[in-house]
Structure 1
Amino acid sequence: MKEEKKLAPKPEKKVIGRREMVALPELDIAEIEAKIDTGAFTSAIHCSDIHEETSPNGKKIICVELLDPSHPQYNHKKLRFAEYDLREIKSSFGEVQQRYVIRTTIELFGEVMEAEFSLSDRSDMKYPVLIGRTLLKGRFIVDVSRKNVSQKYKIKQKQKHTNL
């Protein structure tokens, strides 16, 4: 007689909209609007002055300015990453570009998760952060008729806690 294996229940996927307010805690961004893009494989963050340098100990690092001076949340901070990849990524225009990719945390629906982000100049794009399907897969379902679902969820959670 065959033994039945009990599978752990799959976590319920949360519904998100076509745009969401997210936080990037390790990058000191408490709230920024992100476009949800199921056509994009990798998530992306708008950076300017992206370049590679050699650190004092001889290791290669990448240096970037998060966002750019025209963005309201620009904070003049130069960020340095010792751990990164250089990958070929297809742009929204279909051209393959070499881009630096980092791992950092993102907060959505009060949940902090680690994700990969390509660093690119998105100054000609409306949204500085793009959430691609690698981050979405297995966690979220996108309802394109909605937006800022996670922010509304966050507000409800705060109200629930204040009413206790």
Structure 2
Amino acid sequence: MKNALQVIGATDIVDLPELGWYNVPVRIDSGATSSAIHCAKVKLVKDGEQTSLHFFLDTKKGAPQQSYIVTDFKETVVRNSSGKEEKRYVIKTRITLFGKKIMTEFSLANRRKMQYPILLGRKLLKNRFLVDVSQKNLSSARRHTTLVRSKNSHA
């Protein structure tokens, strides 16, 4: 018998420990193939044979105020929400959701005008989550309940 899928709502809260970004609000989008993260000042820097990708995360949504540099990335073409194709860089990082650490890919996108700095798409959701759009922040509610229980159990 297959494992039951975890129910996730239309929005949630995740941690990105490798990027030092915690309690990040995310939008669940089963219509999007891949996940996206808001970044600014994205640029390639070539140093001899080595090419690295430099970017900043959304400090207005609580990201650390620092430049990130990765050498493990790829370039892809994504159809944006307007239906236009655009070239984006894709990085891999781990997110924590419902207490599970999940390695996933994020395209670096300009989501400045969006309410949520991160969009979680089908590649991440597939075989892990069942989306119930009438719900919100189910993992953060569970996170709070677990914290309350653990505090009360030490009383």
Same fold (TM over 0.5): yes
The alignment yields a C-alpha RMSD, in angstroms, of: 1.3
Q: Which residue of 2 aligns with 1:61?
A: 52
What secondary structure, in the 3-state scheme, does the structure 2 residue paired with 1:41 have?
A: coil
Q: Does 1:90 align with 2:79?
A: yes
SS at 1:160 equivalent: helix
- Of structures 1 and 2, the larger Rg is shown by 1
TM-score (norm 2): 0.93
Q: Verify: 1:19 aligned to 2:11, yes or no.
A: yes
Q: TM-score, normalised by structure 1?
A: 0.88
Shift of 1:142: 0.7
Q: Percent identity?
A: 35
Q: Distance in 2 between matches of 1:49 and 1:19?
A: 26
CA distance in 2, matches of 1:35, 1:49: 23
Alpha-carbon distance in structure 1 between the residues aligned to 2:61 and 2:22: 13
Q: Give the secondary structure class of the aligned counterpart of 2:107.
A: strand
Contact 2:21/2:64 (<8 A) preserved: no
SS in 2 for 1:126: coil
Q: How many residues align?
A: 153
Aligned to 1:126: 115
Aligned to 1:5: none
Alpha-carbon shift at residue 125 of structure 1 (Å)? 1.2
Cα pair 2:10 2:27 within 8 Å, conserved:
yes
Native 8 Å contact 2:36 2:120 kept in 1? yes
Other structure's SS at 2:147 match: helix
Question: Where do 5+ consecutive residues of structure 1 fail to align?
Answer: 1-8
Q: Give 1:5-154 correspondences, 5 Å limit.
A: 9-55=1-47, 58-67=49-58, 71-154=60-143
Deviations 1:86-122 (A, max 9, x none): 0001101111110000110001001111000000111
**Distance in 2, Cα, partners of 1:163 & 1:124:** 41
Equivalent AA in structure 2 for residue 154 of structure 1: R
